[in-house]
Amino acid sequence: MKFRRARNTVASTALAAVAIAGIVLPGSVSAGMGYAVVPTAIIYPGETISGGQLQEVEVTNPNLAGGYARSIEEVRGMISKRTLLPGRTIPVSALREPYTVTRGSQIRLIFRIGAMTISAAGSPLEDGSTGQVVRARNMDSGVIVSGTVLADGTIHVAAK
């Protein structure tokens, strides 16, 4: 029979006690819990969220998991990715920014290299938010290019 040498059991016991204390007595219980945003009506996927559909409520449940919206400004104008029920907290992961360009719409493709700028009509092949890389078709040549969506709704085409 083989035995292993015990390693610093005092240190490991102390670490276990600290971990258990952190689980049983989280720091946020003693402090103010803050506020959470809840819908006042059902919000369906793809719907733009307005301030009239929201309400801030005080959080009183110490067991509430984090990751929920804490202010109305954080949620207003966002798009719901899934159904949000009245009186339930809104997870931040259930929200997305509105799309800047939508698939099939008319957009402007811009290619810059040095002082030269080439501009062409295009059509995005997928929805995209500002800063996202999307594929688009050049309407004149039919060539598919990739580029970054800009805030004004144009796509900046990257050089290959």
Half-sphere CA count of 148, side-chain side, radius 13 A: 9
DSSP output for 41-102: S-B-TTPBP-GGGEEEEE---TT--S-B--SHHHHTT-EESS-B-TTS--BGGGEEPPPSB-
Token couple for 130: 């500002």
What pLDDT, on a 0 to 100 scale, did the predictor assign at position 32? 57
| Mean pLDDT, rounded, for 9-31 | 46
pLDDT digits 0-9 by tens, 83-103:
999 999 999 999 999 999 999
Q: Which residues lie across from 57 on neighbouring strands?
A: 36
pTM: 0.63
pLDDT digits 0-9 by tens, 24-53:
444 444 355 789 999 999 999 999 999 899
Of the pLDDT bands very low, low, confident and very high (cuts 50, 70, 90), residue 115 is very high
All domains in the chain, ordered by first residue:
33-96 (3.90.1210.10), 107-157 (2.30.30.760)
